Structure 1
Amino acid sequence: MNYLALLNDVTGEQYLAHLQDYLKDRQLLDENRNLSLENSSEQDFLELFFLEKVFPQDKRFSPHTVRAYRSDAKTLLTFLTEHSLSFRDIGFPEVKSYNKFIKEKYAPKSAIRKLEFFRRLLDFGYETQFYKGHLSTWISKPVSKKGHYIIEETRNEEAQTRVQIRELSQKDAESLISFFPKVVKAKTNREQLEKRNLLIGYLLYTTGLRASELLSLNWGSFRYNRKGYLYADVIGKGKKARSIPIREETKAILFDYRTCLGESVEINTEDTSPLFFALYNKKETLLNKKRLTYPALYKIVKEAVYLAGKNLKVTPHWFRHTFVTLLLENDVPLAVVKDWAGHSDISTTNIYLERVNKDNSFVHLNKVNLF
């Protein structure tokens, strides 16, 4: 049994006593009463690493973040298993070998995240005396281009590359969302599924919501402001709340979807039922709504992309990049775009603006009288 997992369920008064008992039973404190894993089991090392460094009690994580951490842990565990290594066996050669493996197998952004997870684990091991050496100093991360790019090799014999932007043109985005209803194959609740998928496409394209934010929407997430315009209130990264205006076209599709389900279109901010849910047997579904999952959303987008004959690399997040770029291309102020997109720092939004300005360079060139 994972004893540390029980700490999540005890009261503040019980927490210290439980933690003291756990550490004392396993002799995990040194003479200065500091955490020492020098003689601990690997299970204790991993449990404490995840409890203290990955999933601390005072933080809440999105499903996307949890999946990413689990993926990073699985990658490392698989590598160790395939090389018949334990965590105690990790030293300089193992760090360099894993580093090389990650950089060769994964794109820069994924490699950076996985190596950062590895670095945190090694640092925790060093801080708790599980490792005698500061092994993370030997990690070297790849350089990742800022922004939403895919780097593809254009020639096998040369290091020449081309940069592909992970976003859609306005024409392609509008075309693609028209295929969202067409991926429905089921006969049961066909109309409801088609309207649900169309609404998903419109919300992705016209709000710039992250996939996790879209899937977390409840009917109660919507409200009218004092001027009578419809807004969606979402909680983004870092528990940061923001409000996003809903276009009239999207509002009409939202209400059409609700009506098709036989549900009220009256705004009720107290309603915590999920906006998007799996539709099987309609009567059972409306009584017990099971929130739509990311794999289901991802599948809808991928099947629509395939039917539309578009770039097969397109994912739900491409619509977010497209939305931000279109706002800036239409002269929406940078600070407003930052708030709508939920960027923690305006420098992130500015990356989009820099590229928009580069795309407009030909317009500026034509204004110059060279002949």
Structure 2
Amino acid sequence: MKNNTNNLKISTSATNALKKKTFIDVKSLSEWSQRELTTNFKDIILHFVFSFTSINTRRSYLNDLKEFNLFLERKGIFCIKNIDEKVLISWNNELNSRENLNQKSIRRKLIVISSVFMFCIKRKLVSKNPMEFIQKPKLTFESKTNALTFAEVKILLQYLENNYLEYTQQNIFSRSSKAAILAYSVISTLLSVGMRVEELCQLKLKDIESNPDFTRLHLKVKGNEQHSPIIHPKTASIIENYRKICRNNANENDYLFVRSQNVKIQTKLTQPAIYKMLNIAIQSAGIEKKISPHSCRATLATLLHNQGTPIGEIQHLLNHKEISTTAIYIKKANEIEESAALKLNLDKFHPK
């Protein structure tokens, strides 16, 4: 009974650590991580989730798997070896019965379970993946974001630059001035480098490589891999100006982009903060579009494509594994522009 209580304590510590994005009980977590992996599904969930470095990936997978685990517990299933095709069909049916879930969300939840089984196969806890026999919803490439046009990018960046210059004329070290140059620097970087927003949040001062001929950013991307794109001289200049004003006393291991509030402990930017920053800027610039930080990747891909940049070079810049992903970005962004129906001159058919 004592061992069970201890196991529960360790699992709870690990789960709470994920929720709070910090590792509060380091001793318990260390103790838990050194224990041999068992076939208990709750134990597998935590080992699987902690195998990823991104906090957002961990939280997303944990939410989906906790939900599936509750389903299993209602059926009295606690061991992964007892999760067969019939159980998974039942789970799939339950997901499809929920009105608040779309097919894309259902597909994601099923793929996560499949990933767990592959995780267990590699560790020889099971011999096969029963998810292989479950029909998943077909993936449809819905446009998650709206790309900006060339004219809109020009309007947005001009507004951000003017806003920054206006505040710096009053007081370069004021909170408003710092917030203005932060927004200008962050959004300019997203639009010209095409990095994912999480990659921008993780960017540290030491990740900027400056040479007489070029400036390069060393990014930690998906799969804990490295991607080091060369950036435009204008972007490099904007980042350097931000660094001198806002991060002049920071050391090389500190995050580059931090909150503009005057606080003792500098806190790096988060995805929600950047989303809010971007949409405030869009609305203030008078652009009527709902966009997200991910829109900046689609925008860059489209602008480069329209300028005649080979798609392979765009793929390399955005660090897409498949060129088909890059093609989808461009296709969706150009969908309205390339619509044949919209090019029809209906005025000729209607009397004035």
TM-score strictly above 0.5: yes
Tell me the equivalent position of 1:153.
none
Matches within 5 A, 1:173-212: 173-177=153-157, 189-212=175-198
**Corresponding residue number in structure 2 for 1:142:** 137
Distance 1:240 1:329, change over 3 A: farther
How far apart, CA to CA, are the structure 1 residues paired with 2:281 and 2:326?
28
Q: 1:305 to 1:97 in 2, by over 3 A?
A: farther
Aligned equivalents of 2:279, 2:65: Cα separation in 1: 27
CA–CA separation in structure 2 for the residues paired with 1:87 and 1:314: 44
1:209-257 superposed Cα distances (whole Å, 9 cap, x missing partner): 10011111112221234x5222212121122322222223323322322
RMSD, matched Cα: 4.3
Distance 2:209 2:309 in 1: 23
Give the match for residue 6 of structure 2: none
For residues 262 and 294 of structure 1, the distance between their equivalents in structure 2, rounded to whole angstroms, comes to 20
Which residue of structure 2 lines up, in the alignment, with residue 49 of structure 1?
45
Which ranges of structure 2 fall in alignment gaps of 5 or more residues?
1-8, 15-26, 168-172, 344-352
Aligned counterpart for 2:215 among listed residues 222, 230, 238? 230
| 1:70 equivalent in structure 2 | 62
8 A contact 2:88–2:134 mirrored in 1: no
The answer to whether the Cα contact below 8 Å between 1:212 and 1:294 also exists between their aligned partners in 2 is yes
- Give the counterpart of 1:97 among 88, 93, 96: 93
TM-superposed CA distance for 1:63, in Å, is: 3.1
1:216 aligns with 2:202: yes
Q: Is the 8 A contact 1:96 1:138 kept in 2?
A: no
1:261 CA displacement: 2.5
CA distance in 1, matches of 2:259, 2:334: 42
- Equivalent of 1:240 in 225, 229, 232: 225
Q: TM-score, normalised by structure 1?
A: 0.65
Q: Check whether the contact 1:222–1:233 (CA below 8 A) recurs between aligned residues.
A: yes
CA contact (8 A) 2:147 2:333 kept: no
Number of residue pairs the alignment of both structures matches: 301
Amino acid at match of 2:301: V
Match for residue 113 of structure 1 among 92, 95, 108: 108
Sort the Cα spacing of 1:223 and 1:313 in 2 relative to 1 into closer, same or farther, 3 A: same
Show the counterpart of 1:159: none
Whether 2:30 is the aligned partner of 1:2: answer: no
1:347 aligns to what?
A: 324
Give, in angstroms, the shift of residue 352 of structure 1: 4.2
- Cα distance, 1:105–1:361 mapped onto 2, change above 3 Å: closer
Partner of 1:301: 278
Alignment partner of 1:65: what SS?
Answer: helix
Unaligned runs of 5+ residues in structure 1 are 24-34, 38-43, 151-164, 366-371
Structure 2 CA distance for partners of 1:356 and 1:301, relative to 1, 3 Å:
closer
Give the letter aligned to residue 244 of structure 1: P
The residue number in structure 2 matching 1:274 is 255
Relative to structure 1, is the Cα distance of residues 204 and 108 closer, same or farther in structure 2, using a 3 angstrom cutoff?
farther
Alpha-carbon offset, residue 208 of structure 1: 0.3
Q: In structure 2, how many angstroms separate the alpha carbons of the residues matched to 1:306 and 1:107?
A: 29
The answer on whether the counterparts of 1:202 and 1:250 sit within 8 Å (CA) in structure 2 is yes
TM-score, normalisation: structure 2: 0.68
Deviation at 1:333, TM superposition (A): 2.4
Deviations along 1:126-146, one digit per CA (max 9) or x if unpaired, are: 9968xxx98646743222224
**Distance change in 2, residues 1:211/1:92 (3 Å):** closer
**Distance in 1 of aligned mates of 2:303 and 2:312:** 15
Q: Residue 241 of structure 1 aligns to a residue in which SS?
A: strand
Q: SS at the partner of 1:140?
A: coil
Query: 1: distance between equivalents of 2:283 and 2:339?
Result: 33
SS in 1 for 2:77: helix
Percent of aligned positions that are identical: 23
- Matches of 1:75 and 1:95, distance apart in 2: 10
User: How much does 1:327 deviate?
Assistant: 1.5
Deviation, 1:292, is 1.4
